[in-house]
């Protein structure tokens, strides 16, 4: 293994590096010359060390930071093209933030070298087709440093980031928003900013690659073969979500995931000494990662190159390359301080930085030689894609079936008639919990959708999410489709975002108890924002879970997702509605769906249908005429049968009663006014809703003249039937409310 070879180097190197660090070089010097893509001279040991080899030295080192504010480059020789490119990146970031008077220049200034090496020397991509299937993926988990990525996309020739876009950084309607957004800027794979999400997305992207490679690669054709790179900072490292996702990455042995940890020791509140003194290296070794330490991330290009080479050689583990950098590198007065993290440098300091780094150019200028050098990526990228296309054509000839599946996955064109696989039910079908009915749908879909895979956060046997025809996705069996996330809800959600955004035809689902959406809401909101069509299978959706008590009983959760933009909150009532919910969820590839499913058995009701679910709200039974019922009873999920039962009683007493299933508010909202009027006629103000959850929001549906039966307090620990009764979620309550209105 590569790490053992680096053991021998480390001792000598460490003393060198430390000496260097304690002898800061003077300011206002010119960058060193170094040959472009220079290979490591075998007589000079490369300036990187394996953290594994020298764990004691991975703890805080004061000298580097203490001197960093005046630390600059070596002035021995002429500016090299790499230095020039790196400084171009730095100044594009500085200038864009300065023009916007808003943004985060510090990270791009410190991470420009690793950014340059990745995009110019290492990564395989096609700037003119950011969606080329086999591209290397890059995620900037420290999303506030987005100007790094925009500068790189610009240099590489992506159409999404032209010079004017850089000048419109953080402005209305620009493709260069304040954090990377995949839906605004082709070339950004995912949406980051909320810390820790990106590295978890990267785990998902790497998982997707490993899974697809295992399923589709052949001895004579490695048709799926790319790396996933990520840059994360101290903030990402502190977030629990990153530990969750990285623990899984280690467990799964995602060898083609290479993470750069921008170890700059500065976060918004100042030096990380005040809140973050753990040994990240040791933790990652515990998580099963290969760990490398690049001591000089500011100018140590060869160290960075060698670390990437080593990382690639370690195939059974993900690699963390800890790159020690100086935030705001090059700024004589602000480098290595929080003041350069999240604010423009200011005109005076921009000038000082220009002088310090020897940068005589106007704002936003890309020197001709730099431009010329980067210009090769457009033809090279096109060639890479063409080469892969030719390879795929060969593959298609030999492996017709696999090629068709892979095509569906890479294009998002689902197999025709897939929805016919969904089961349907009649009122005579046995009563069952919607979590069980959900499992029937999941298993049916897995047979017809090549990109369908997923799992649960250690509740597979409660959420009923196992795909019976597949085994577990594990290190040694990555071709399988059951994902085992462990008790890591937040990581699970963000990993699924990464999986979903890997390819348009991959459809990940994930599961836990509905109440634990509270643990993963950060990731679910990013699903909604970043148009990742993840399917959230959320069981035990009310007090109906019974004895586990209020910590496990959702109350406000339905309302909380109904209020969230671009996410479908579905609460099916029986078999047909569960199937309908999956129909909707699979159809909505740019909008995530949350399915709230019961633990308890429910009857299959007359009148429910897949088509009804697609309209969000629809009449399941009605004995009125002329669209003038005496009262409309509205229910969702497990309470729809209570509404139906109440209707039966009321009809016996001569009332004209309509029962409406309100399975998905968002879909109903999208229907025509005429349709809405046909279900909820404005003239009928006698409306009663029943739902075992918060009544918050129902006033809009039942109107000022209606009544809402629900739960506006926490639940209780007792058998489910008892709680329903004590909380008044009963047909009797519906009947009483209805009678009071009509």
State the catalytic residues.
489
**Subset of residues 462 to 481 that bind a second copy, contact rule: CB under 8 A:** 462, 472, 474
- Please select the residue that binds a second copy; options are 419, 479, 556, 587, rule is CB under 8 A: 556
CA atoms within 13 A on the CB side of 15: 3
Helix axis angle, 575-587 relative to 434-448, nearest 10°? 40
| 341 is an annotated ligand-binding site residue | yes
Of 326, 270, 279, the C-alpha closest to 63 is: 326
Q: Are 556 and 548 in contact (CB under 8 A)?
A: no
| 599 is an annotated ligand-binding site residue | yes
Tokens standing for 602?
A: 């429910």
Tokens standing for 526?
A: 């990013």
Site membership for a second copy, residue 634 (CB under 8 A): no
State the DSSP H helix or E strand holding residue 493, giving kind and residue range, or none if neither: helix 489-502
Site membership for a second copy, residue 728 (CB under 8 A): no
Site membership for a second copy, residue 564 (CB under 8 A): yes
- Please select the residue that binds a second copy; options are 164, 222, 369, 547, rule is CB under 8 A: 547
- Please select the residue that binds a second copy; options are 181, 302, 310, 641, rule is CB under 8 A: 181
**Subset of residues 642 to 701 that bind a second copy, contact rule: CB under 8 A:** 694, 696-697, 699-700
**Residue 127 per-residue DSSP state:** T
Site membership for a second copy, residue 707 (CB under 8 A): no
Q: Which is nearer to a second copy, 384 or 501 (CB)?
A: 501
Q: Which is nearer to a second copy, 263 or 402 (CB)?
A: 263
Minimum distance of a second copy from residue 611's CB (angstroms): 26
- Please select the residue that binds a second copy; options are 247, 336, 539, 581, rule is CB under 8 A: 247
3-state secondary structure 555-579: CCHHHHHHCCCCCEEECCCCHHHHH
| 264 is an annotated ligand-binding site residue | yes
665-677: burial string, b at 16+ Cβ within 10 Å, e else: bbbbeebeeeebe
Of 276, 371, 261, the C-alpha closest to 322 is: 261
Q: Are 543 and 716 in contact (CB under 8 A)?
A: yes
Site membership for a second copy, residue 235 (CB under 8 A): yes
Region of 703 (left: φ > 0; alpha: ψ -120 to 50; beta: rest) is: left
Site membership for a second copy, residue 729 (CB under 8 A): no
| 435 is an annotated ligand-binding site residue | yes
Compute the distance between CA of residue 600 and CA of residue 500 in angstroms, rounded to an integer: 31
**Subset of residues 409 to 438 that bind a second copy, contact rule: CB under 8 A:** none
Residue 216: Cβ-neighbour burial (10 angstroms; 0-12, 13-18, 19+): buried
Minimum distance of a second copy from residue 141's CB (angstroms): 12
Of 562, 525, 529, 509, the C-alpha closest to 693 is: 562
Binding string, residues 191-210; x marks residues near a second copy by CB under 8 A = xxxxxx--------------
Site membership for a second copy, residue 600 (CB under 8 A): no
Site membership for a second copy, residue 293 (CB under 8 A): no
Q: Which is nearer to a second copy, 556 or 587 (CB)?
A: 556
| DSSP-based three-state secondary structure for 633 | strand
Single out the segment in contact with a second copy by CB under 8 A; choices: 84-92, 285-293, 370-378, 649-657: 285-293
Q: Which is nearer to a second copy, 342 or 367 (CB)?
A: 342
**Subset of residues 66 to 105 that bind a second copy, contact rule: CB under 8 A:** 100, 102-103
Site membership for a second copy, residue 166 (CB under 8 A): no
List the beta bridge partners of residue 601: 433
Residues marked as binding for substrate? 104, 341, 435, 462, 540, 548, 552, 599
Residues marked as binding? 104, 144, 193-195, 234-235, 264, 266, 341, 435, 462, 516, 540, 548, 552, 599
């Amino acid at each position: 293994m590569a790490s053992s070879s680096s053991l021998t180097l480390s001792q000598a190197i460490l003393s060198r590096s430390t000496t260097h660090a304690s002898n800061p070089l003077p300011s206002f010097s010119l960058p060193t010359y170094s040959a472009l893509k220079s290979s490591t001279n075998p007589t000079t040991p490369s300036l990187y060390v394996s953290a594994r080899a020298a764990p004691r030295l991975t703890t805080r080192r004061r000298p580097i930071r203490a001197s960093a504010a005046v630390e600059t480059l070596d002035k021995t020789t002429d500016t090299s093209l790499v230095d020039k490119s790196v400084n171009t990146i730095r100044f594009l970031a500085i200038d864009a933030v300065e023009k916007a008077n808003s943004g985060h220049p510090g990270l791009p200034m410190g991470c420009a070298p690793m950014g340059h090496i990745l995009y110019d020397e290492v990564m395989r991509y096609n700037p003119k087709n950011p969606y080329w299937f086999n591209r290397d993926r890059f995620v900037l988990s420290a999303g506030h440093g987005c100007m790094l990525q925009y500068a790189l996309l610009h240099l590489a020739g992506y159409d999404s980031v032209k010079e004017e876009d850089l000048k419109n950084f953080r402005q209305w309607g620009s493709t260069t928003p304040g954090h990377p957004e995949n839906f605004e800027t082709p070339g950004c794979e995912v949406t980051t900013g909320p810390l820790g999400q990106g590295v978890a997305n990267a785990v998902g992207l790497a998982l997707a690659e490993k899974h697809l490679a295992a399923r589709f690669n052949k001895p004579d054709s490695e048709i799926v073969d790319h790396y996933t790179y990520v840059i994360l900072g101290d903030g990402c490292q502190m977030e629990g979500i990153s530990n969750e996702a990285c623990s899984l990455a280690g467990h799964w042995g995602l060898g083609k995931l290479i993470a750069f940890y921008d170890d700059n020791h500065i976060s918004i509140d100042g030096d990380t000494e005040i809140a973050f003194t753990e040994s990240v290296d040791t933790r990652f070794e515990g998580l099963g990662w290969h760990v490398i330490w690049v001591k000089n991330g500011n100018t140590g290009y060869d160290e960075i190159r060698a670390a990437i080479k080593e990382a690639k050689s370690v195939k059974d583990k993900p690699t963390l390359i800890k790159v020690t950098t100086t935030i705001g590198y090059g700024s004589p007065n602000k480098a290595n301080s929080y003041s350069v993290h999240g604010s423009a440098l200011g005109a005076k300091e921009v000038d000082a930085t220009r002088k310090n780094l020897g940068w005589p150019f106007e704002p936003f200028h890309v020197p001709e030689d730099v431009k010329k050098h980067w210009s090769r990526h457009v033809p090279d990228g096109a060639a890479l894609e063409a080469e892969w296309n030719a390879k795929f054509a060969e593959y298609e000839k030999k492996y017709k079936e696999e090629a068709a599946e892979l095509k569906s996955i890479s294009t998002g064109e689902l197999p025709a008639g897939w929805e016919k696989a969904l089961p349907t039910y009649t009122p005579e079908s046995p009563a069952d919990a919607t979590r069980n009915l959900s499992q029937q749908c999941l298993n049916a879909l897995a047979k017809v959708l090549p990109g369908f895979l997923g799992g649960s956060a250690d509740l597979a046997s409660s959420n009923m999410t196992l795909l019976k025809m597949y085994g577990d996705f594990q290190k040694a069996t990555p071709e399988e489709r059951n994902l085992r996330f462990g008790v890591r809800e937040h990581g699970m959600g963000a990993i699924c975002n990464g999986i979903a955004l890997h390819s348009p035809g991959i459809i990940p689902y994930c599961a836990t108890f509905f109440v634990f959406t509270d643990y993963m809401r950060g990731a679910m909101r990013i699903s909604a924002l970043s148009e990742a069509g993840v399917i959230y299978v959320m069981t035990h959706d009310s007090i109906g879970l019974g004895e586990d008590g209020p910590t496990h009983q959702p109350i406000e959760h339905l309302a909380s997702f109904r209020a969230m933009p671009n996410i479908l909150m579905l609460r099916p009532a029986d078999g047909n509605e569960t199937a309908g919910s999956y129909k909707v969820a699979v159809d909505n590839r740019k909008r995530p769906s949350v399915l709230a499913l019961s633990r308890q058995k429910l009857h299959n009701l007359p009148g429910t249908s897949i088509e009804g679910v697609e309209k969000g709200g629809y009449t399941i039974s009605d004995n009125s005429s002329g669209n003038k019922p005496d009262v409309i009873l509205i229910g969702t999920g497990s309470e729809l049968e209570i509404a139906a039962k109440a209707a039966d009683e009321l009809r016996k007493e001569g009332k004209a009663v309509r029962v409406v299933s309100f399975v998905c508010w968002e879909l109903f909202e999208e229907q025509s006014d005429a349709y809405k009027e046909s279900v909820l006629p404005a003239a009928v103000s006698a409306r009663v809703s029943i739902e075992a959850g918060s009544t918050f929001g129902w006033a809009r549906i039942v109107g000022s003249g209606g009544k809402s039966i629900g739960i506006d307090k926490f639940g209780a620990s007792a058998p489910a039937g008892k709680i329903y009764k004590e909380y008044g979620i009963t047909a009797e309550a519906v009947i009483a409310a209805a009678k009071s209105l009509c």
